[in-house]
Amino acid sequence: MTLPRPRSTRPLSASPEVIRIGNFSGFYGERHSALQEMLDGGDVDVLTGDYLAELTMLILARDRAKDPALGYAKTFLAQMRQSLAAAYAKNVQIVVNAGGMNPAGLAARLRDLAAELDVPARIAHIEGDDLTDRAAELGLGQPLAANAYLGAWGIAECLRAGADVVVTGRITDASLVVGPAAAHFGWGREDFDALAGAMVAGHVIECSTQATGGNFSAFTEIADLSRPGFPIAEVSADGSCVITKHAGTGGAVTVDTVTAQLLYEIQTARYAGPDATARFDTIAVTDDGPDRVRLSGIGGEAPPPQLKVSLTRLGGFRNEMAFMLVGRHIEEKAALTRRQLEQWLPVRPAQLEWDLARTDTPDADTEERAAATLRCVVRDTDPKKVGRLFSGTAVELALAGYPGFFLSSPPREASPYGVFTAGYVDAALPEHTAVLHDGTRVAVPPTPTTRALADVTAPPIPAATAPGPSRHIELGEIALARSGDKGPHANIGVWVRTDDQWTWLVNAMTVERIRELLPETADLPIQRAVLPNLRALNFVIEGLLGEGVAYNARFDPQAKGLAEWLLARRVDVPAALLSD
């Protein structure tokens, strides 16, 4: 069915004061029906999709290495087959970074799909983030892929020219929202407060249902979390916004679910991007009614003079074997296994790491509850050293090792692992280009005004209250938290709900206390940011994740459960702060 309609000068939103921007994807693997759910669920002006986690860039880079025509998120094509006609009929623009390593290739496939479906949608895309061929000359080494985090202005250019779909590669996640908002309101390059507000809105909705109750530490407070709805940011002309969702969908939008996402994967009170730097110490978060939370008062500054570059390289090859230890003498069984394997290996890998997880319980009523896991991880640049040479040797211990020997998996070959690092280049170096739906190429210059990042002056800390009766409880009985990853680092945002609780938290939860509660962090650098406006603290634990998620340095390689571990630790809390 053909859907003819003039498309040249229509506004992105019928309202000059507000544009409704929703999100339907937070990662490559999101709920397939999400795009159609957002179109069917109610009114939106623009839908965004974020597909590019750090690990995804490695996956797409390897896809492109095998086939130059690939390198994009293939699932987005399948979603558009289902939903392109509906989006066009509803005048909903779609902006996604699903182009990954090959935005031009995905845009071409979308044009083919539109022709096949007889939908006259206009497809535009963004180029210039891929610096792989220039990496050496830019001092970035020789990575498998090097991609600069571009900003929102190319997206705005495409939308102003009438694009129905805009495909990008590696841009900042928040720019997916900043671009449509800037195009609709006509913001200038130095409207930093408004741009910073849209950045905050983008940061909140970029991870889809994490803003509506997903991965939420107080999830038991949400009445219906069976199928959370996807978030919508109603962005106003001054950059303030209301976070909401379609009526009748699951999950919830509350001050706490939004605060959780605000603290996700941040570092300091300055949240820098190529469009502006948002001051997270200025955000006011207020209840605006059922499933509505307002974000306002957001201060903005000029962006830094450099762009961050995602550098993905092949780190080597890895393998692992897990020995299951049941019953008595767990420590002795583990020690015997270590001695035997290390003696029997024909050649020692470059890295050989052991980890004993004591998940066994005394006098257990099932065999599984009586079991501990001894995990051995090996890495080397030579796949032979960590392939069957390693895993086969582990199997050879079966009849010569500890009593009750068994493994959690059969022997396997080595698998490659990637390493993510961050580089930086002058903002003018990438050739940021908006390729409009008619093929016109528009150069997108960087923002002319910049400001070097600097630490935020620490706010005054309220004096600790006089000690009184206390209770030794789990931290999660008074606080909420969320954690995540940034390359090799992990962050934990912790917040409370009342001013009195905040006075206790900011004095009690120091860097030294974090090291005590989370012994795995004891020898690592930890940075603390104080955010009184959110009653929150953010801790960045440097190096906890080795060389990033693909390196798989710990059993929780993205630190997603780190906050839950912290909330389960017991601390002394003044009884007066706790409700009955």
| SS3 label, residue 44 | coil
pTM of the shown model: 0.93
The rounded distance, in Å, linking the Cα atoms of 238 and 191 is 9
Residues contacting residue 356 through CB under 8 Å, at least 6 positions apart = 330, 331, 334, 372, 373, 374, 375
Decide if pLDDT at 2 tops 70.
no
* Per-residue confidence band for 580, with pLDDT thresholds at 50, 70 and 90: low
Q: How many residues does the chain have?
A: 580
Instruction: Give the per-residue pLDDT at 8.
Output: 46
* Per-residue confidence band for 55, with pLDDT thresholds at 50, 70 and 90: confident
* Per-residue confidence band for 361, with pLDDT thresholds at 50, 70 and 90: very high
Instruction: Give the per-residue pLDDT at 6.
Output: 46
The rounded distance, in Å, linking the Cα atoms of 526 and 516 is 12
pLDDT in tens, 62-103: 899 899 999 999 999 999 999 999 999 999 999 999 999 999
Instruction: Give the per-residue pLDDT at 465.
Output: 86
Q: What is the DSSP letter of 238?
A: T
Beta 93-96 vs 165-167: how paired, if at all?
A: parallel
What mean pLDDT is predicted for residues 39-60?
93
What mean pLDDT is predicted for residues 484-501?
95
Sketch out the chain's domains with CATH numbers.
19-305+427-443 (no CATH), 314-419 (3.30.70.380), 470-577 (no CATH)
The rounded distance, in Å, linking the Cα atoms of 360 and 304 is 50
Instruction: Give the per-residue pLDDT at 54.
Output: 79
Average pLDDT value for the chain: 94
Decide if pLDDT at 145 tops 60.
yes
Decide if pLDDT at 408 tops 70.
yes
| SS3 label, residue 473 | strand
* Per-residue confidence band for 133, with pLDDT thresholds at 50, 70 and 90: very high
The rounded distance, in Å, linking the Cα atoms of 279 and 298 is 7
Percentage of the chain surpassing pLDDT 70?
98
| SS3 label, residue 82 | helix
The rounded distance, in Å, linking the Cα atoms of 214 and 564 is 14
Instruction: Give the per-residue pLDDT at 10.
Output: 63
Instruction: Give the per-residue pLDDT at 1.
Output: 40
Decide if pLDDT at 166 tops 90.
yes
In the chain, % helix, strand, coil (3-state, to 5) comes to 30, 25, 45
The rounded distance, in Å, linking the Cα atoms of 267 and 280 is 10
Residues contacting residue 399 through CB under 8 Å, at least 6 positions apart = 405
What mean pLDDT is predicted for residues 372-390?
96
CB atoms within 10 A of CB 458: 10
Locate 442 and state its tokens: 């528009």
Contact 61, 87 (CB under 8 A): no
- Candidates 141, 20, 40; CA nearest to 89 is 40
Locate 417 and state its tokens: 């692992």
Residue ranges of E strands in 427-502: 433-435, 441-443, 470-474, 480-486, 489-495
pLDDT in tens, 417-470: 888 889 999 999 999 999 999 999 999 999 999 999 998 888 999 999 888 899
What mean pLDDT is predicted for residues 222-226?
96
Q: How far is CA 213 from CA 218, 242, 290, in A?
A: 9, 16, 14
What mean pLDDT is predicted for residues 9-38?
92
pLDDT in tens, 236-256: 999 999 999 999 999 999 999
Locate 498 and state its tokens: 């009342």
User: For the residues of 93-161, what is the DSSP string, one character each?
Assistant: EEEE-TTTT-HHHHHHHHHHHHHHHT----EEEEE--B-GGGTTTTT----SEEEE-B-SHHHHHHHHT
The rounded distance, in Å, linking the Cα atoms of 228 and 233 is 16
Decide if pLDDT at 523 tops 70.
yes
Q: Tokens 């004891």, residue?
A: 522
Instruction: Give the per-residue pLDDT at 419.
Output: 86
The rounded distance, in Å, linking the Cα atoms of 505 and 507 is 5
